[in-house]
């Protein structure tokens, strides 16, 4: 799990992440072969480099 809050790239805490997902109603989950040095969301989502999508939180 990667936390990108405030533009920083680093490991995230599972409890905090789960709370954020619950508040938002779900999460965008991406799978990549290798974590890039800097996240370029447009490239990851639009180029076919990553697989994934929105995963809704169960009600």
| Residue numbers of the domain that contains 47 | 2-56
The span from the CA of 48 to the CA of 58, in Å, is 28
Q: 29 forms bridges with which residues in the sheet?
A: 53
> Rounded to two decimals, what is the model's pTM?
0.57
* Residue 32: per-residue pLDDT: 86
Q: Looking at residue 9, what is its pLDDT?
A: 60
Residue-by-residue pLDDT tens, the chain, 59 positions: 565 655 556 666 778 778 888 888 998 888 888 878 888 888 888 888 888 888 998 86
**Domains: count for the chain:** 1
Q: Are 57 and 25 in contact (CB under 8 A)?
A: yes
* Nearest-angstrom CA–CA distance, 27 and 56: 7
């Amino acid at each position: 799990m990667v936390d990108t809050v405030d533009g920083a790239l680093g490991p995230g805490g599972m409890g905090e992440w789960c709370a954020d997902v619950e508040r938002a109603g779900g999460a965008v989950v991406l799978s990549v072969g290798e974590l890039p040095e800097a996240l370029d969301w447009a490239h990851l989502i639009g180029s076919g480099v990553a697989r994934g999508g929105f995963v809704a939180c169960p009600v």
